[in-house]
């Protein structure tokens, strides 16, 4: 099969440590430095904010445990694409990959890259968001290019070039950036615990409004937490490059998600010792404000630098894993055929990397990625529900298949993840009905593309040509 040939041509070098760092790097971006402010507006109480962060971590862990079994069953580059294809047929897998290329992966990379550019602008004014380099009127609309977008494009191209040099270079860059940001955030946590508290948090004070009101507020706040944990599944896309995916992938997903959960809880304890709930709610950048409140302006600059490395590390991780999605599709004859080829020297999908980079850069400079990404939030949640549901389908469809890892707590663990995702789907549909329908329309654009590729193509051989 084309899939099997492709796996043989990718270098299997990633270990459990690499998978763990990839998971951490894929999750931790800018969210932890911003999201608690949104929660505090819904839950003006430090103790309940911690409960939401813990619940978000446990639900993400349920997803990681679920995807771990799927990844061990199908240890191929491409992750979710394969799980959906094997469970439901080629069309659902293609629609995920199509939407991933169009917006989910590329749009996410553009958002992370612009975030890194924005924080770089705090140190180098040329790269500031308000430093407009070009302003061109296009009808009633004006296209602008600012310094943060230039920095974002440079980051995308630079990290893609590193990944194109091979798995050792790509994984090495993302591992190094993950260690740097973990050390920077760890220093913030350590200082936050050692310095005298500015605020004495009330961890157990009740909220007014009764149980019904509390559940509603917790649900709204949980949306913010779960999106900050997003990315926990990233390592599944690189399973085809792991030495022992049956062990390394599940462990990397679980260890990485647990580590991030503990880190997020510790950071939020620091926030609670630095700022009152009202101050948290009023803060635009809670990470920097908490550091300034505890240790002054220098500490705030330290946090800004930590955020810069955090976003670069997250971008390095997402470029590495998301580029693995498209070559298997091309090998199956349902994507651009030239993308199927694995580089004969570096043994990585170089063409996939550069195609992804080109589209990401276009989204970045067009300024449309934020709106497009809002559209696909609903669709992305639907894909997660379908993927977790694939576990049940495949257990029935392939009862005798070798499963090096079986999800702990089956069936309750995957059911809990599905239930939480369905709650998020309902909340998104109510809060953003227009964007949700628009997101489904974006997914539907893949239908004509799929049938066109199916008519024209066959599965292709991916053996490199010398």
pLDDT above 90: percentage of residues in the chain:
43
397-436 pLDDT, tens digit each: 999 999 999 999 999 999 999 998 888 788 778 777 888 8
Q: Residue 412: how many CB atoms within 10 A of its CB?
A: 12
136 located within any domain? yes
Distant-in-sequence, close-in-space partners of 248: CB < 8 Å, separation ≥ 6: 14, 15, 16, 18, 19, 242
Q: Please list the residues that pair with 144 across neighbouring strands.
A: 135
461 located within any domain? no
**Contact present, 18 and 171 (Cβ < 8 Å):** yes
60-112 pLDDT, tens digit each: 999 999 999 999 999 988 999 999 999 999 999 999 999 999 988 888 888 88
Across the range 144-159, mean pLDDT stands at 93
**Contact present, 308 and 113 (Cβ < 8 Å):** no
DSSP notation for 117-162: HHHHTTTSGGG-TT-EEEEEEETTEEEEEEHHHHHHHHHHHHHHHH
CATH number of the domain where residue 51 is located: 1.20.1740.10
**Contact present, 39 and 221 (Cβ < 8 Å):** yes
pLDDT at position 170: 85
433 located within any domain? yes
**Contact present, 424 and 357 (Cβ < 8 Å):** no
465 located within any domain? no
**Contact present, 266 and 194 (Cβ < 8 Å):** no
pLDDT at position 261: 95
Q: Could you identify the residue written with the tokens 């749009």?
A: 107
Q: Which two tokens stand for residue 214?
A: 């509390």
Q: Residue 448: how many CB atoms within 10 A of its CB?
A: 9
For residue 458, give the 3-state DSSP assignment.
coil
For residue 445, give the 3-state DSSP assignment.
coil
313 located within any domain? yes
For residue 54, give the 3-state DSSP assignment.
helix
- Residue 3 predicted with pLDDT over 60: no
Q: How many helices (H) and strands (E) does the chain have?
A: 20, 2
pLDDT at position 205: 64
Q: Please list the residues that pair with 138 across neighbouring strands.
A: 141
**Domains contained in the chain, number:** 1
As a whole number, the mean pLDDT across the chain is 86
- Residue 45 predicted with pLDDT over 80: yes
Across the range 11-37, mean pLDDT stands at 87
Distant-in-sequence, close-in-space partners of 8: CB < 8 Å, separation ≥ 6: none
Quote the domain boundaries for residue 194: 2-456
**Confidence band, pLDDT 50/70/90 cuts, at residue 211:** very low
For residue 334, give the 3-state DSSP assignment.
coil
442 located within any domain? yes
| Residues 240, 245: Cα–Cα separation, whole Å | 7
**Confidence band, pLDDT 50/70/90 cuts, at residue 463:** very low
- Residue 452 predicted with pLDDT over 80: yes
374 located within any domain? yes
| Residues 395, 311: Cα–Cα separation, whole Å | 38
Distant-in-sequence, close-in-space partners of 89: CB < 8 Å, separation ≥ 6: none
Q: Please list the residues that pair with 308 across neighbouring strands.
A: none
359 located within any domain? yes
292-335 pLDDT, tens digit each: 999 888 888 888 888 888 899 889 999 999 999 999 999 999 99
Across the range 353-376, mean pLDDT stands at 85
């Amino acid at each position: 099969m084309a899939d099997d040939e492709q796996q043989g041509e990718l270098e299997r070098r990633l270990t459990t440590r690499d998978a763990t760092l990839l998971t951490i790097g894929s999750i931790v971006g800018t969210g932890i430095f911003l999201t608690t402010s949104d929660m505090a507006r819904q839950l003006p109480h430090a103790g309940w904010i911690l409960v939401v962060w813990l619940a978000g971590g446990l639900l993400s862990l349920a997803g990681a445990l679920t995807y771990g079994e799927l990844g061990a069953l199908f240890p191929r580059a491409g992750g979710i694409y394969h799980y959906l294809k094997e469970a439901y047929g080629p069309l659902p897998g293609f629609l995920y990959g199509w939407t991933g290329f169009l917006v989910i992966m590329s749009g996410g990379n553009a958002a992370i890259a612009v975030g890194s550019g924005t924080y770089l602008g705090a140190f180098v004014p040329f790269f500031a968001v308000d430093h407009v380099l070009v302003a061109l009127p296009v009808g009633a609309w004006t296209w602008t290019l600012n310094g943060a977008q230039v920095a974002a494009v440079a980051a995308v191209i630079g990290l893609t070039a590193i990944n194109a040099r091979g798995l050792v270079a790509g994984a090495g860059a993302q591992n190094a950036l993950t260690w740097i940001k973990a050390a920077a955030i760890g220093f913030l946590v350590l200082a936050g615990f050692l310095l005298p508290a500015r605020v004495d948090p009330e961890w157990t004070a009740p909220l007014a409004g009764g149980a019904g009101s509390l559940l509603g507020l917790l649900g709204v706040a949980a949306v913010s937490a779960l999106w900050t944990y997003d990315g926990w599944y990233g390592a599944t896309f690189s399973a085809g490059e792991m030495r022992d995916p049956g062990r390394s992938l599940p462990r990397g997903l679980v260890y990485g998600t647990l580590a991030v959960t503990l880190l997020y809880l510790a950071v939020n304890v620091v926030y609670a010792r630095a700022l009152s709930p009202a101050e948290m709610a009023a803060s635009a950048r809670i990470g920097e404000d908490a550091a300034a409140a505890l240790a002054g302006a220098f500490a705030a600059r330290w946090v800004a630098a930590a955020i810069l490395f955090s976003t670069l590390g997250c971008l390095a991780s997402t470029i590495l894993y998301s580029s693995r999605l498209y070559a298997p599709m091309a090998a199956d004859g349902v994507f651009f055929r030239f993308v199927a080829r694995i580089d004969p020297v570096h043994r990585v999908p170089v063409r996939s990397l550069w195609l992804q980079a080109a589209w990401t850069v276009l989204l970045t400079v067009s300024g449309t990625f934020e709106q497009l990404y809002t559209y696909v939030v609903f669709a992305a949640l639907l894909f997660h529900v379908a993927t977790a549901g694939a576990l049940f389908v495949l257990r029935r469809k392939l009862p005798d298949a070798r499963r090096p890892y079986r999800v702990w707590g089956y069936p309750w663990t995957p059911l809990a993840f599905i239930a939480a995702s369905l709650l998020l789907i309902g909340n998104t549909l109510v809060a953003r009905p227009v964007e949700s329908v628009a997101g489904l329309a974006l997914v539907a654009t893949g239908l004509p593309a799929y049938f066109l590729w199916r008519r024209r193509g066959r599965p292709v051989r991916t053996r490199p040509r010398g």
